[in-house]
Structure 1
């Protein structure tokens, strides 16, 4: 069984771009857009322990900012479990990571992110 320890460069770039967008919208008080990009960061990084856990950390902080008890509790649970599930590559792909969806539910991956995943897989096969 392969262990996921380090996010590939292409995915890291996409992950960081989502976090950049998250921060932009958060700073401008556009919370719905900020959350959208936080969910996308989760989708991109969920197979890698550090990125996965960090997305949940930011979701937890967002929950506190919004005074959303359900989100806070959901993120605490996800932070305890998510990282090691990433390490052993046992995550529900496409899951957006928020407490508003079941933590083990697979979800459709947005087409642009799906394309990034495909390119990453092609690069892995070339190595």
Structure 2
């Protein structure tokens, strides 16, 4: 992973690309949850959040899914953190202040920028090249 800035990853992805990437992560989440692999399930939800962050509705849904999973696990601390983040999403969208790369979990500051996984950046870069015919 490398540090990324807003003009880098976030501005190069459109809603259609975001939905495809998120769908893939949600497939991984469901498979991990079915297999009882909580760590992998959370990682998939975190990655979906990173992609969803710059789209208001997708961002809200990512925290809603995290809240649902936290409740299913009986994790009150995580559930409370997700409720807090659900309240923050509109403020972040209105002000344009979103911590790029933040995974969205309660154990991480809601204001901390984080590295974007390099494979997610590579997927975006690859799709950009295909779209432009390069």
TM-score (norm 2): 0.78
Runs of 4+ with >3 A deviation: 86-89, 116-126
Q: Aligned-pair distance for 1:61?
A: 1.0
Correspondence for 1:61? 68
Inter-CA distance 122–87: structure 2 relative to 1 (3 Å threshold):
farther
- Unaligned runs of 5+ residues in structure 2 are 1-10
TM-score (norm 1): 0.82
Correspondence for 1:73? 80
> Alpha carbon RMSD of aligned pairs, Å?
2.4
Structure 1 window deviating more from structure 2 (83-92 vs 31-40): it is 83-92
- Unaligned runs of 5+ residues in structure 1 are none
Q: Aligned-pair distance for 1:50?
A: 1.2
Correspondence for 2:3? none
Correspondence for 2:113? 106
